[in-house]
């Protein structure tokens, strides 16, 4: 499938999750088989542009193309200007966030709160598409709540405005991350528009990805929380879709260099102090369910410098490989409904 002139080589995409899917992690996902990865949600208010967090999220360097930046906001003019600014910085796709359910985002009428105001949705879509010199995509939920499911109407508005791709999380804002994703609505969206539609929500295995594609007719799937624990899920999904067989779990020793490279990249991206702090969250997601991971995470969190963290991670990987060639999970590899701003 294509986003404008950008051809994507596969059907498994990495979802944007603010504070979680930073540039180093996206690079790892691409290395492990993700055909596309969207940047972390960034506010469109120009007053935020000077913050270290925003500058870091908008730093466009060696990400594999197409480089996608996700913008959030409720002011059509601000979003349009932010889209132009991001394209000038090197963004090759602009993604509009109408899916984030976080209270602090919805409280300022952004994210999934926009779905309550369809006229405003229309103004935003028209303004951003008109202003952006690069393709515009939209990430959304199925509606504000079960009584206000309007995904089909919003999808048609997006197509009419010139949006090039839709990613639909199969929950309303009121659902948060609870319950089960409603793939029926995603299927209705797919049937109502001609532009590509990506299915998102509860996709935590290659088999689930295959089944969701079959049931919804979607063009691709987008994986969020499951990838935080197993970023190699993208390559597994692609293998099943292309070859019809479920691939084996990757060996710990084969993953070890890539995981160590992830943390090296992480420390370079954030610097020593911020890198040490944020590496604790990364390790928590990657290793919390692995056999022995709870104790390891406690030890890792107590370390105060990047060299010690990396050394302890390497030792844990070797210890785990000594117990089993692949990771053993304490209670399965599923993901809890832990909310992060922009988590899709």
For residue 272, CA distances in Å to 5, 41, 60, 211, 257 come to: 38, 23, 20, 43, 21
The per-residue pLDDT for 49 is 65
The per-residue pLDDT for 331 is 66
- Helix or strand (DSSP H, E) at 223: strand 220-223
Nearest to 170 by CA among 212, 205, 123, 206: 212
Rounded distance between C-alpha atoms, residue 334 and residue 332, angstroms? 6
Burial (CB count within 10 angstroms: exposed 0-12, middle 13-18, buried 19+), residue 145: middle
Domain segments of the chain: what residues? 2-243, 252-323
DSSP 48-113: GTTSHHHHHHT--SSPPSSPEEEEE-S-HHHHHHHHHHHHHHT-SEEEEEE----HHHHTTT-GGG
Tell me the pLDDT of the chain (344 aa) as tens digits.
999 999 999 999 999 998 899 999 999 999 999 999 999 998 888 776 667 777 777 777 666 789 999 999 999 999 999 999 999 989 999 999 998 777 777 767 678 889 999 999 999 999 999 999 999 999 999 988 777 889 999 999 999 999 999 999 998 877 777 778 899 999 999 999 999 999 999 999 999 999 999 999 999 999 999 999 999 999 999 999 999 998 899 999 999 999 999 999 999 999 999 999 999 999 999 999 999 999 999 999 999 999 999 999 999 999 999 999 999 998 644 443 333 333 33
The per-residue pLDDT for 151 is 95
Give the total residue count for the chain. Answer: 344
Question: Is 335 tagged catalytic?
Answer: no
First-to-last C-alpha distance (Å) of the chain: 21
Nearest to 268 by CA among 12, 24, 74, 44: 24
The per-residue pLDDT for 159 is 98
The per-residue pLDDT for 53 is 73
201 conformational bin, left if phi > 0, alpha if psi -120 to 50, beta if neither? left
Rounded distance between C-alpha atoms, residue 57 and residue 19, angstroms? 9
Rounded distance between C-alpha atoms, residue 147 and residue 172, angstroms? 10
CATH architecture of 2-243: Alpha-Beta Barrel (3.20)
Whether the bond between 66 and the residue before it is cis, its omega within 30 degrees of 0, is yes
Dihedral angle of Cα 37, 276, 320, 13, to the nearest 10 degrees: -10
For residue 330, CA distances in Å to 26, 102, 293 come to: 26, 29, 9
Q: Of 29, 100, 297, 341, which one is the catalytic site residue?
A: 100
With H, G, I as helix, E, B as strand and everything else as coil, classify residue 7: strand
* Tokens, residue 214: 């079959």
Rounded distance between C-alpha atoms, residue 155 and residue 115, angstroms? 11
Pairing assessment for the beta strands 36-43 and 93-98 based on DSSP bridges: unpaired
């Amino acid at each position: 499938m294509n986003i404008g002139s950008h051809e994507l080589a596969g059907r498994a995409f990495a979802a944007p999750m603010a504070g979680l899917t930073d540039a180093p992690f996206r690079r790892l996902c691409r290395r492990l088989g993700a055909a596309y990865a969207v940047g972390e949600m960034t506010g469109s208010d120009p007053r935020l542009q000077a913050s270290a967090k925003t500058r870091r999220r908008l730093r466009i360097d060696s990400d594999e193309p197409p480089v996608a930046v996700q913008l959030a906001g409720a002011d059509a003019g601000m979003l349009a200007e932010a889209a132009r600014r991001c394209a000038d910085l090197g963004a090759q796709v602009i993604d509009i966030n109408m899916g984030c359910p976080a209270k602090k985002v919805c409280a300022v009428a952004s994210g999934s709160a926009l779905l309550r105001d369809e006229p405003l949705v229309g103004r935003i879509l028209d303004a951003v598409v008109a202003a952006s010199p690069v393709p515009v995509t939209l990430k959304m939920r199925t509606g504000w709540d079960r009584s206000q499911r309007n995904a089909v109407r919003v999808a048609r508005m997006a197509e009419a405005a010139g949006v090039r791709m839709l990613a639909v999380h199969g929950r309303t804002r009121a659902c948060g991350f609870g319950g089960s994703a409603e793939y029926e609505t995603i299927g209705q969206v797919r049937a109502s528009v001609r532009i590509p539609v990506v299915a998102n929500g509860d996709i935590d295995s290659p088999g689930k990805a295959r089944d969701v594609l079959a049931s919804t007719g979607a063009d691709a799937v987008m994986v969020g929380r499951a990838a935080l624990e197993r970023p190699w899920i993208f390559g597994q999904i692609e293998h099943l879709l292309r070859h019809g067989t479920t691939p084996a779990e990757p060996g710990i020793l084969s993953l070890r260099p890539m995981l160590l490279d992830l943390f090296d990249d992480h420390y370079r991206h954030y610097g020593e102090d911020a890198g040490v702090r944020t590496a604790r969250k990364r390790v928590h997601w990657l290793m919390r369910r692995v056999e022995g991971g709870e104790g390891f995470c406690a030890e890792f969190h107590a370390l105060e410098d990047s060299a010690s963290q990396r050394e302890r991670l390497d030792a844990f990987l070797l210890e785990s490989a000594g117990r089993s060639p692949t990771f053993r999970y304490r209670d399965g590899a599923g993901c809890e409904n832990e909310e992060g701003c922009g988590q899709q």
